[in-house]
Amino acid sequence: MSGIQSSSTELVEVRHTQASTSSAFIGGFWTNIFVECSWRSNGDRFDPEHRTRMSSQSHEPLQHPKRQSSPPAEVVRAMLDALTDHPHRAWIERALLDICEMADRDVDRLDWKILSQSIRDMTRAMEMFEPYRYVRKVAIFGSARTPEDAPEFQLARSLAAKLADAGFMALTGAGGGIMEAANRGAGATRSFGLNITLPFEQTANPYIDGDSKAIEFKYFFTRKLFFLKESDAIVLFPGGFGTMDEAFESIVLLQTGKFGPAPFVLVQPPGNRYWNEWEDYVRGQLLAQGLISSDDLKLFSIVEDADVACAVVRDFYSVYHSSRFVGDRLVLRLRSALEGDAIAQLNAEFGDLLASGSIEPSAALPEEAGDETERLPRLVLHFDRRSYGRLHAMIRAINRLGACESLEVCAKRG
């Protein structure tokens, strides 16, 4: 998840100041390490006797020779002296060692360009999102070719406005069509634009163009990373190949636990069967041939109304807050504690997704000390790490049970 929802302007301002200071320091640090590694990757430092190349007659892989230089660890550790007290020093050291290990080999120039531009994409995006870490966000996908008078456009605009009013910022691809509708509905102050350089279609729409929360990515994969890293929900409108790519990649990551848990909402205007026919294919081919499980169908919802779509997203976080793994235990953070009878019902209904033990109430675990969510009550379980469709169903049950005065009331509500 992107972080804890917060309306505190002071918190945002403090984090923005900290991010600017940290970015300036780390930026200079990375410049130094790249200069050092680039000097060490000078071709004159090769031992030519160890160089091997592929020829047209050979299919043997290219062997990358080691450079005749000091061990990379010595360079990195010397530069890390400036980060002695940094809380994430170990991760910084790991990243720098990996880069210098690459510099110690005959890595192709194109690979260096990809690495360098990827880091640039990511550092710029991290800096942009840092002040909004504690604000929930929804990624809204759909066709760049949808005209303004289309019902899909008006539905996307309405939904983005309702989500913004509910406290969710909109994440779009910054282009036209559905993306423009979402940026327009949410407004520039409550939305982001993650643009991509393309030879056609993709220029930033006027409702996000020039805003400090608009950014242009070189690569699709870094752009997709931030769509999912920063999103607390995925909403998709009808679209072409790009929308299908976003739909299937997102649901795969939900299915495998690499993203979420989070709402995945497929929106279409009344009378438009775009997502119904998509579901027909999923059921008629993937499910029928045993390529997915029936529980995977619980990962998505199909709706035709902006109010209903907004409620699906909003209600997912009514009691459930967020989750993380601590060792082999899944920790579900809640906005409010569940009663003992409700937890007993969860164990009875969802015991099949446990690898062992039972679902237990808990305070923050010792490993979570100092976490921003430390004050929140928790449920802890040994999740089997396979049944993510069932996990989504359990989270919806948690929200339902937490909103009821009693189990009897919940039973009447269905």
- How is the chain split into domains, by residue range? 9-107, 134-315, 318-413
Q: What radius of gyration, in Å, describes the C-alpha atoms of the chain?
A: 24
Q: What are phi and psi of 115, to 5 degrees?
A: -65, -50
Q: In terms of pTM, does the model score above 0.85?
A: no
Helix (H) or strand (E) holding 303: strand 301-303
Q: State both tokens at 191.
A: 């939305």
Q: State both tokens at 275.
A: 């997502």
Return the residue matching tokens 């809380």: 87
Domain 134-315 in CATH 3.40.50.450? The answer is yes
pLDDT in tens, the chain (414 residues): 544 443 333 333 333 333 444 444 445 555 555 544 544 444 433 333 333 333 344 445 545 455 545 555 666 777 777 777 888 888 888 888 888 788 777 888 888 899 889 999 999 999 999 999 999 999 999 999 999 999 999 999 999 999 999 999 999 999 999 999 999 999 999 999 999 877 765 678 999 988 999 999 998 999 999 999 999 999 999 999 999 999 999 999 999 999 999 999 999 999 999 999 999 999 999 999 999 999 999 999 999 999 999 999 999 999 999 999 999 999 999 999 999 999 999 999 999 999 999 999 999 999 998 888 999 999 999 999 999 999 999 999 999 998 765 555 555 555
Contact 186, 161 (CB under 8 A): yes
For the four alpha carbons of 16, 165, 236 and 319, in that order, the dihedral sign comes to positive
Residues contacting 272, CB < 8 A, separation 6+: 151, 152, 238, 304
Cα–Cα nearest to 409, from 360, 349, 341: 341
Q: What are phi and psi of 267, to 5 degrees?
A: -115, 135
Domain 318-413 in CATH 3.30.1360? The answer is yes
For the four alpha carbons of 158, 237, 311 and 337, in that order, the dihedral sign comes to negative
